[in-house]
Amino acid sequence: MDHGSIPHGTKCSMNMLWNTQIIDTCIIFREWHISSNGLFALSFFGILGLAIVYEGLRLLQTSIEVSTAQKEVATEGTSLGRLPDIGESNPLIQGRPRRHSPSLFFRLLRSVLYGISVFLAFFLMLVFMTYNAYLILAVVLGATTGHFIFSPYMNVAGDISERQLARGIACH
């Protein structure tokens, strides 16, 4: 087996079962080889930080979308961004959300943030797939801490879309 730049005598272990191994654990890349407890602690806190950043990024995406939607509603002069009532003769059209094409800058920003969020989500999934209990704990603690930091308020008015309710820490 080719170990690339890893010196002979060290073993890069990739377990496919639940484990608590610290030394000789490889995280995602062969080069991310844990050779000491200190390096493992650094990796643990780095992964925890990535999970916190992921939660913050999710909030940033939502905040930008809500802010842009509110500006559009204010500009359009409609209260909820919905089509005006047409009457009893067209019940299917009433209340249908209006489609709007945002600016190129907003679309680019939204797409870049989405791409970063997909990357981070899959990266954290790969960390989770090491089946290392400590690394899994780092992801879960990071997500929990990030949620605590970035989601301190609830929308008691009930104005939460189904999309926002369905979002969790998922790969995509």
Give the span between the Cα atoms of 47 and 139, in whole angstroms: 6
Q: Is residue 19 part of a domain?
A: no
Residue 1 pLDDT grade (very low, low, confident, very high; cuts 50, 70, 90): very low
- Can you read off the two tokens belonging to residue 91? 């019940």
User: Total domain count for the chain?
Assistant: 1
Q: Please state the pTM of the whole predicted model.
A: 0.74
Please report the DSSP string for 100-122 in residue order. Answer: ----HHHHHHHHHHHHHHHHHHH
Residue 39 pLDDT grade (very low, low, confident, very high; cuts 50, 70, 90): very high
- Domain of residue 152 covers 37-74+100-166
Q: Is residue 92 part of a domain?
A: no
Residue written as token pair 């989601």? 151
Residue count (the chain): 172
Q: Is residue 58 part of a domain?
A: yes
Q: Is residue 171 part of a domain?
A: no
Q: Is residue 65 part of a domain?
A: yes
How large is the average pLDDT for residues 76-103? 58
Q: Higher pLDDT residue, 69 or 113?
A: 113
Q: Is residue 46 part of a domain?
A: yes
* SS3 state at 168: coil
Q: Is residue 11 part of a domain?
A: no
Give the span between the Cα atoms of 106 and 121, in whole angstroms: 22
One-letter amino acid of 128 = F
Q: Is residue 110 part of a domain?
A: yes
How large is the average pLDDT for residues 59-68? 90
Q: Does the pLDDT value for residue 21 go beyond 60?
A: yes
Residue 15 pLDDT grade (very low, low, confident, very high; cuts 50, 70, 90): confident
Please report the DSSP string for 5-42 in residue order. Answer: TSPTT---B--SS-B---TTBB-SSTTSB--SHHHHHH
**Torsion sign across C-alpha atoms 57, 62, 67, 72:** positive
- Can you read off the two tokens belonging to residue 121? 């989500």
Q: Does the pLDDT value for residue 40 go beyond 50?
A: yes
